[in-house]
């Protein structure tokens, strides 16, 4: 296994930060010729974080390497996290916590039903996670407090708490490393320095970590974060705060980590591809998923379809050429069918059963 680029550049971080290797890193970067023509870009590239881990890919693995590393250092026997019913983050946490022998508890809030939600729930069940569905945001906070208090009372030990999406500063460090990984691939001649990276933004750890890492690497790349959630999960203020907190964490851990200001000119947050809300399909997103499929890549409608829709619309409308564009694929493509096959939704708490008995209203996963 190779040393993380973050650790080889800043050896002080290797000893100061909690870390457990979970992923298959570095992830490949490949030319995406089949879609390049539609954009007018000189070249279109795909960063394949869909195969970032052996058990389950996608963007959460990089965050969990640090977050679950911290849970282990803390000596926690369980981790508690949050998400929508079909949360990829809750699922990734369940799978990798389970692999480390940690119990995973997921506090979930309702979302639009669909095939992805059903698959993720069954896969979480297969991973042995405790899944609970709560009414709304206030309810989930109240339930969390009760849950944690109950754990203290029962003496079972305090769970290690991971925020929604894993976008604590420590989780964001995983994407600082990801940007340095990309910089190494540029330096090795695998691709030109991208002019722009398009990436979906749910809780911002991915886009903000990339922005910080690119600044440290000295790359001139712009990050276009395509919002798929509403504030406070995604907002310009959140980006600045998370950037500052992550940079501060890294400088505390290793004073050799440089002081970097938020690169205003290299960050764009696009609001115009969200549509009616989180997990709700848009026509442009659905079309982008179909175009990706015909170009050999499986995306979904909640995150990556909206991000690709933005890339296609913005780049096609941009005059001139010579642009090198990168799409950061944040969606898992490691097959999960085997693990799900034997699972029966009746084993889930009753609150979840409606995702399996009610119709979806024709929404793509």
Ligand X SMILES: *Cc1c(COP(=O)(O)O)cnc(C)c1O
List residues binding ligand X (CB under 6 A).
Answer: 58-59, 88-89, 165, 167, 200-206, 303-304, 330-331
Nearer to ligand X, 239 or 254 (CB): 239
User: Which stretches of 112-173 are assigned E, i.e. beta strand?
Assistant: 130-133, 160-161
Nearest approach in angstroms of CB 253 to ligand X is 21
Nearer to ligand X, 20 or 168 (CB): 168
What is the helix (H) or strand (E) element at residue 324, kind and residue range? strand 324-329
Q: How far apart are CA 255 and CA 248, in angstroms?
A: 10
Cβ–Cβ contacts within 10 Å for residue 328, how many? 27
Nearer to ligand X, 26 or 305 (CB): 305
Nearer to ligand X, 10 or 331 (CB): 331
Nearer to ligand X, 58 or 254 (CB): 58
CB 330 within 8 A of CB 304: yes
Nearest approach in angstroms of CB 290 to ligand X is 17
Nearer to ligand X, 62 or 134 (CB): 62
CB 348 within 8 A of CB 98: no
Nearest approach in angstroms of CB 185 to ligand X is 21
Nearest approach in angstroms of CB 228 to ligand X is 7
Q: How far apart are CA 17 and CA 23, in angstroms?
A: 17
CB 133 within 8 A of CB 109: yes
Please name which of 325, 297, 315 lies closest in space to residue 34, comparing C-alpha atoms. 297
Nearer to ligand X, 32 or 303 (CB): 303
Nearest approach in angstroms of CB 346 to ligand X is 27
HEC sequence for 49-103: HHHCCCCCCCCHHHHHHHHHHHHHHHCCCEEEEEEECCCHHHHHHHHHHHHCCCE
Which three-class secondary structure state does DSSP give residue 239?
A: helix
Nearest approach in angstroms of CB 9 to ligand X is 22
Nearest approach in angstroms of CB 326 to ligand X is 15
Question: Hey, what's the torsion of the CAs at 271, 275, 278, 280, to 10 degrees?
Answer: -160
């Amino acid at each position: 296994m190779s040393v993380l680029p973050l650790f080889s550049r800043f050896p002080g971080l290797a000893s100061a930060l909690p870390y457990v290797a979970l992923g298959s890193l570095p992830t490949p970067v490949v030319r995406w010729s089949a879609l390049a023509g539609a954009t007018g870009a000189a070249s279109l590239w795909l960063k394949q974080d869909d195969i970032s881990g052996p058990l389950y890919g996608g963007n959460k693995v990089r965050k969990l390497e640090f977050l679950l590393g911290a849970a282990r250092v803390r000596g926690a026997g369980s981790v508690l996290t949050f998400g929508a019913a079909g949360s990829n983050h809750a699922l990734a946490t369940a799978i990798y916590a389970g692999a480390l022998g940690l119990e995973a508890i997921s506090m979930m809030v309702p979302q639009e039903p669909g095939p992805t939600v059903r698959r993720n729930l069954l896969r979480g069940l297969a991973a042995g996670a405790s899944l609970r569905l709560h009414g709304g945001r206030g309810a989930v906070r109240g339930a969390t407090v009760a849950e944690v208090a109950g754990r203290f009372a029962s003496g079972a030990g305090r769970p290690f708490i991971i925020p929604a999406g894993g976008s604590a500063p420590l989780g964001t460090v995983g994407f600082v490393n990801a940007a340095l990984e990309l910089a190494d691939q540029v330096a090795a001649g695998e691709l030109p320095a991208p002019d722009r990276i398009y990436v979906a933004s749910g809780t911002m750890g991915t886009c903000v970590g990339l922005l910080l890492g690119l600044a440290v690497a000295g790359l001139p790349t712009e990050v276009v974060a395509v919002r798929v959630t509403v504030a406070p999960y995604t907002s310009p203020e959140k980006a600045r705060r998370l950037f500052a907190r992550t940079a501060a964490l890294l400088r505390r851990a290793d004073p050799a980590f440089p002081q970097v200001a938020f690169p205003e000119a290299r960050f764009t947050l696009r609001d115009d591809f969200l549509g009616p809300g989180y997990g709700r399909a848009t026509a442009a997103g659905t079309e982008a998923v179909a175009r990706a499929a015909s170009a050999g890549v499986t995306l979904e409608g909640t995150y990556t379809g909206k991000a690709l829709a933005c890339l296609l619309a913005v780049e096609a409308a941009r005059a001139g050429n010579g642009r090198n564009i990168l799409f950061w694929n944040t969606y898992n493509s490691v097959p999960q069918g085997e693990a799900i096959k034997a699972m029966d939704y009746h084993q889930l708490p009753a609150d979840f059963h409606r995702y399996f008995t009610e119709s979806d209203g024709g929404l793509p996963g």
